[in-house]
Structure 1
Amino acid sequence: MRDAFSDTLVRLATADPKVLLLTGDHGYALFDNFRKSCPKQYINAGIAEQNMIGMAAGLARAGFRPIVYGLSAFVPVRVLEQIKLDIAHDLLPVILIGDGAGFVYAQLGTSHQSTEDIACARSIPDLSVYSPADRFELTACMERAYNAKAPIYIRMGKSDRGDVHVDNLPEGINGLLELKRGEAQNIAFIATGSMVRTALDIARERYPRAAVWSAPVIKPIDKSQVVDICRLSSVIAVLEEHSVLGGLGSAIAEIASELAPTRVLRIGVRDQFSQHCGSYAYLLKEHGLDQPGIEKRLEDYLSAN
């Protein structure tokens, strides 16, 4: 997925000299091709993320198309006020990239783990939120963000869980993408980012009648699609490598409660910090987001309801 990000970034910047990349002293190897192809369009703003957002806002006002890159624990979380006031309030066309979302930087502890970024970004008016699951969704999200000319946050997990699509997506993705067709009155899975691969594996192995949907666009979400899925399913299981508070699961539950009441099981990070340090796989297990942990959660919920 990171290669797709780099390739798309170079393609956009080569075609449009107004595209500028700002980074907070991160991503050196990732941007080797960009620096080689577009050296005058690269700005290392240093470890000063708040200032970097202000720079991006000023450049956008001057007619440039800034793309701001940082770890998702810092962009958007550390710079939320600057995003709100400098960018979103005035609808400036700035694309914010938060890399390493979720538990990818596991060994670096809570300061570098990002499980609240969707909730933070969702709550800011006029700021869209994208969360691609593979290289195809990433490319489509980048192209959609560039064409939108609006404030957008793209959440990118550094771990590559493999492709969930087999080919490039049609231009202009607008909502949920069906990956596995299901049957009415059965469980349906809606997942985003790294959890889409897990949802597909669980559905194919344990719930063959279940539909699986990927949500690369979390805000604005297609309410009519969500309503249709809710009306055809007795249970919606929402999977995300993010807090259950304010993330995709909350967005689905909000729509279901108002427009198509059904049971929504939010599977994500509970209201707690990581208790121990370890590998990415270890932290997924600690938080019950590895495949066996999710399967048990589903079994317990379905048997009790």
Structure 2
Amino acid sequence: MDTMRDRFAPVVSQVLDEDPRVAVVLAEIGAADFQETARRHPDRVVNVGIREQLLVGAGAGLALTGMRPVLHTFASFLVERPFEQVKLDLGHQGLGAVLVSAAASFDWPAGGFTHMAPGDVALLDTLDGWTVHVPGHPDEAETLLRHAIAAGDDRVYVRLSLQANRAGHPVDGKRPLTVREGRSGVVVAVGPMLDAVLAATEGLDVSVLYTTTVRPFDTAALRRATASAGTDVVLVEPYLAGTSTAVVNDALADLPHRVLGLGVGRGELRRYGTLEEHVAAHGLDAGSLRERISAFLARRDAVPAAS
């Protein structure tokens, strides 16, 4: 199976051919994949080199002229390093752009902590007006990329990852899907966490919601699910644990409820290892998830918790 990032250059290149308003801005990463496209559209494929602040600033400049810029590099260099430019050049000026990242939380462990970004979604969540897509399969990535580019002048973040579920689902960039129905709680699986969640909850009487769009979070769908499954909610996110617990707490504020936030821990893992070893170390493999979810559901009289 190809990767989500394998879909990025072909999709954006096709859109560049079709829509003269679209431009792509790169910071060296991924530039080789756009060589042919750059020959066709030399004024709309811009490589600023390893200058990530300029990447965002140049995208904002293009947006000021009425263009729809698509900006791409690793997540740590797209959201964290140029955060001031994301905040001011785009947000403060009310400009739209599509930020498309690679490497996710720890997709390239050999790159070290500089190339890891488990806090990217939480950081963007401090800003107003962002849509955040977290596809779980290359087919979903392609669909959500097209949605993002076509989304008028909105600010959209598309988080690509090497982690992927075995099969894609018919996502629409808005509503979550009910994958399994139960009566003893709701487990929300985000993007590439779905397969592990389904394996972890096999035989448990819980509903499983699958979402690839976490901002805005579809709280209405969550409330519908809790109406039949109960208000114990487990969030399984492929980035910083607890990123969406406040959203869920707000959605259920008028109801007695408990929330468990599972995801990437705050502790830095200082060994390179493999992607799979990092998943296991953060307790996001199916076996660890089953233990943590089962223990949470068994403590129905416990104080509401997030971890």
> Structure 1: which 5+ runs fail to align?
none
- By how many angstroms is 1:61 displaced? 0.5
Q: State the match for 1:173 in structure 2.
A: 173
Alignment of 1:38-77 (within 5 A): 38-77=41-80
Alpha-carbon distance between aligned partners in 2 of 1:26 and 1:299, rounded to the nearest angstrom: 42
Q: State the match for 1:288 in structure 2.
A: 283
Per-residue deviation, residues 61-83 of structure 1 (Å, max 9, x unmatched): 01211100010111111111111
Alignment of 1:99-118 (within 5 A): 99-118=102-121
The size of the alignment, in residue pairs, is 295
Alignment of 1:187-206 (within 5 A): 187-203=185-201, 205-206=202-203
- By how many angstroms is 1:32 displaced? 5.4
Q: Name the aligned partner's letter for residue 145 of structure 1.
A: A
Q: Which moved more, 1:295-304 or 1:281-290?
A: 295-304
TM-score (norm 1): 0.88
2:272 is aligned with 1:277:
yes
Q: Name the aligned partner's letter for residue 23 of structure 1.
A: L
> Structure 2: which 5+ runs fail to align?
301-307
Q: State the match for 1:119 in structure 2.
A: 122
Q: State the match for 1:243 in structure 2.
A: 240
- By how many angstroms is 1:51 displaced? 1.2
Alpha-carbon distance between aligned partners in 1 of 2:42 and 2:194, rounded to the nearest angstrom: 36
Q: State the match for 1:182 in structure 2.
A: 181
Per-residue deviation, residues 90-137 of structure 1 (Å, max 9, x unmatched): 221211112111111112221111100010111101122121111232
Q: Match for 1:139 among 130, 137, 142?
A: 142
TM-score (norm 2): 0.88
Is contact 2:133–2:173 with CA below 8 Å preserved after alignment? no
CA 1:298–1:232 in 2, change beyond 3 Å: closer, same or farther? same
Is contact 1:98–1:155 with CA below 8 Å preserved after alignment? yes
User: What is the CA RMSD across the aligned residues, in angstroms?
Assistant: 2.1
Alpha-carbon distance between aligned partners in 2 of 1:106 and 1:261, rounded to the nearest angstrom: 40
Q: Match for 2:154 among 133, 147, 150?
A: 150
- What is the identity percentage for the equivalent residue pairs of Structure 1 and Structure 2? 24
Q: Name the aligned partner's letter for residue 253 of structure 1.
A: N
| SS in structure 2 of the partner of residue 143 of structure 1 | helix
Is contact 1:96–1:152 with CA below 8 Å preserved after alignment? yes
CA 1:193–1:37 in 2, change beyond 3 Å: closer, same or farther? farther
Alpha-carbon distance between aligned partners in 2 of 1:33 and 1:218, rounded to the nearest angstrom: 34
Alpha-carbon distance between aligned partners in 1 of 2:33 and 2:225, rounded to the nearest angstrom: 38
Is contact 1:19–1:65 with CA below 8 Å preserved after alignment? yes
Q: Match for 2:30 among 10, 27, 39?
A: 27
Q: Match for 2:207 among 184, 192, 211?
A: 211
